Amino acid sequence: MPVSVPTVEKCPSTYDQYECKLNAEVQQIAKEQLNESDQTRGPSLIQLREFIAKHPQIGACRTDAIFLLRFLRSTKFNVMAACELLERYLIIRDTMPNHFKRIDPADENLRSALEKAIVVPLGVDAEGRHVVTIRFGTIDPHKFTSQLVTLLCSLSFEMHLDEELLQVTGFVIVLDFANTTMAHFSLWSLEELKMIVAVINDVLSLRLKEIHIVQLPKVASMIMDYCLAALSPKLKERIKFHKTPDALKDAIDESILPTIYGGKQSLEEANEKFRQRAMQERERLLKQADMFIDLSIPSPNANNNTGVHSSVADEAVIGSFRKLNVD
């Protein structure tokens, strides 16, 4: 099945028309939890597109509805917050491209990492949430770099965030630390850990519903404490620790839980589906890498400390509401 490759032109002559493909139940969830409705969606997309068009630093960016909705949904349709989130997303990709931007499934290093089943999307559970396992013990600390592992995670998230069901229902992450040693944890410097936690808190446009940490060794307790201390209170509440893999059977649907955790799914088959889909998505991922924000151009908010709540964002939001005469 061919994958659509959206333009990254910041001011296209025409914008795509959004067509909701969510069923009635998920639409109700979006309305109750995310403030999304036909009345909020259209004006919000117009405002976000105007923000992109008028932002002096944004050189190229996707403006298709499904891409922009990931930011609106994760900020519960607070347009100003969505503008901030989009800007931070573009900045982190351009300042740390080897972690988040240069995603090419055909690259030899990334292809090698894919074969090791380090990051494996497992599928959708009964609540419609996407479950992903990250198995740190399968990383070869002498062969793989922290950048490569982070890029592998970025690949998984970027692939699935174009599915609007998952933008609404969210993600469940299983962090499996079985067979890890200090060599594994030494891959990440404290600065990188600080950056990753900041990305989780302030940049990821995905709804993290649960994080399951399995078999965390004592040698990593100080590192985990460092990371947890920096996480937002909301995310801390969603973390659950498990001493053994068997405990996952009570937390994850058995039908998508891999057999190595006592479930029914073949991890190898799930990983092969991931590899095949990554190649199908390659052209879109490469095109998305063309998005950029030019930080050498003066920031629109250079004279204040209010983030992206600048004249650019204000004009986009206020101007669009005036044009639409929204009550």
pLDDT of residue 209: 94
pLDDT of residue 133: 96
How many other C-beta atoms are found inside a 10 Å radius of the C-beta of residue 263? 19
Looking at the fold, whether 271 and 200 belong to one and the same domain comes out as: yes
Looking at the fold, whether 251 and 123 belong to one and the same domain comes out as: yes
pLDDT of residue 294: 95
Looking at the fold, whether 121 and 252 belong to one and the same domain comes out as: yes
Domain-located, residue 286: no
Looking at the fold, whether 37 and 121 belong to one and the same domain comes out as: no
Q: Cα 107 from chain centroid? A: 21
Looking at the fold, whether 135 and 259 belong to one and the same domain comes out as: yes
Closest CA to 289 of 77, 2, 4, 6: 6
Label residue 221 exposed, middle or buried (CB < 10 Å: 0-12, 13-18, 19+). Answer: exposed
Looking at the fold, whether 118 and 247 belong to one and the same domain comes out as: yes
Q: What phi and psi values does residue 210 have, to the nearest 5 degrees?
A: -150, 145
pLDDT of residue 4: 77
Q: Which domain holds residue 142?
A: 106-280
This prediction has a pTM of: 0.88
Domain-located, residue 10: no
d(CA 245, CA 233): 26
Number of structural domains found in the chain: 2
CATH number of the domain within which 314 lies:
1.10.8
Provide the token pair at 128: 């419609």
Q: Is the dihedral of CA 100, 104, 108, 114 positive or negative?
A: positive
Domain-located, residue 6: no
Domain-located, residue 240: yes
Find out whether 84 and 92 touch, Cβ atoms under 8 Å. no
Three-state SS sequence of the chain: CCCCCCCCCCCCCCCCCCCCCCCHHHHHHHHHHHCCCHHHHHHHHHHHHHHHHHCCCEEECCCCHHHHHHHHHHCCCCHHHHHHHHHHHHHHHHHCHHHHCCCCCCCHHHHHHHHCCCEEEEEECCCCCEEEEEEHHHCCCCCCCHHHHHHHHHHHHHHHCCCHHHHHHCEEEEEECCCCCHHHHCCCCHHHHHHHHHHHHHCCCCCEEEEEEECCCHHHHHHHHHHHHHCCHHHHHCEEEECCHHHHHHCCCCCCCEHHHCCCECHHHHHHHHHHHHHHCHHHHHHHCCCEECCCCCCCCCCCCCCCCCHHHHHHHHHHHHHHCCC
Domain-located, residue 9: no
Residue entry with tokens 């992450």: 173
Residue spans of the chain under pLDDT 50: 303-327
Looking at the fold, whether 255 and 115 belong to one and the same domain comes out as: yes
Looking at the fold, whether 180 and 241 belong to one and the same domain comes out as: yes
